[in-house]
Amino acid sequence: MLCQSCRKNEATTHIKRIINGSVEELDLCPDCAKKLGYTNIFGSFQNEWNSLLGSFLGGGLPSRTGATRCPSCGTSFSEIARRGVVGCPQCYDTFYEELLPSIRKIHGNTQHNGKFPSSAGKELARVNELESMQEQLNEAIARQEFEKAAQLRDKINELKGGQAK
């Protein structure tokens, strides 16, 4: 692709500007990018890091296609995969299905369970288990799985009964 500024050299820099919700994209050669003040302040480390993250997201996809774009920032999934960086928080909702396998691959899970101090120990674990079981109970009731709901109710009452100790 030729530089959109000089129309002579091969474009190696892709610039995306979002101003008041309007997305403008430019493909520039290194000379024009430098003249316009677009320089990489992070150097090659950023490129290597983004390449690594991009490989988790399926890097090597074309940079722009007619694919779905985030309604907030205009980023496509192929751009996220190539750069290894999500454009904005809305991208997580827009590309949820595409990002989910990569998030699982990187983090091992898609839900943060948190950590708690060992001094909190058993009581906090019991509280967390009660909360989880209460959520399961509400879901079972919503799905009209009343047998399962009754079992969960009994387990919750049993755990609550241990509270007085």
Question: What is the tens place of the pLDDT at every residue in 40-82?
Answer: 555 555 555 565 565 555 544 444 445 688 888 888 888 888 8
The predicted model scores a pTM of: 0.33
Q: Where is the domain boundary, 112, 132, 148? A: 112
Structure tokens at 66: 């007619």
Question: DSSP class of residue 163?
Answer: G
8 A C-beta contact, residue 104 and residue 110: yes
One domain, residues 62 and 10: no
Q: Where is the domain boundary, 70, 88, 112? A: 112
State residue 139's pLDDT score.
92
Structure tokens at 14: 């892709």
Q: Is the pLDDT score of 96 beyond 60?
A: yes
One domain, residues 8 and 50: no
One domain, residues 74 and 130: no
Q: Is the pLDDT score of 153 beyond 90?
A: yes
One domain, residues 129 and 160: yes
Q: Is the pLDDT score of 115 beyond 80?
A: no
Range of the domain at 91: 44-112
One domain, residues 48 and 108: yes
Total domain count for the chain?
3
Specify the higher pLDDT residue, 4 or 41.
4
Residue of 16, 29, 19 lying closest to 63 (CA atoms): 16
Which CATH number covers residue 24?
A: 3.30.60.230
Q: Is the pLDDT score of 36 beyond 90?
A: no
State residue 49's pLDDT score.
58
State residue 63's pLDDT score.
46
Mean pLDDT, residues 9-36: 83
One domain, residues 107 and 59: yes
As to burial, measured by CB atoms within 10 angstroms (0-12 exposed, 13-18 middle, 19+ buried), residue 157 is: exposed
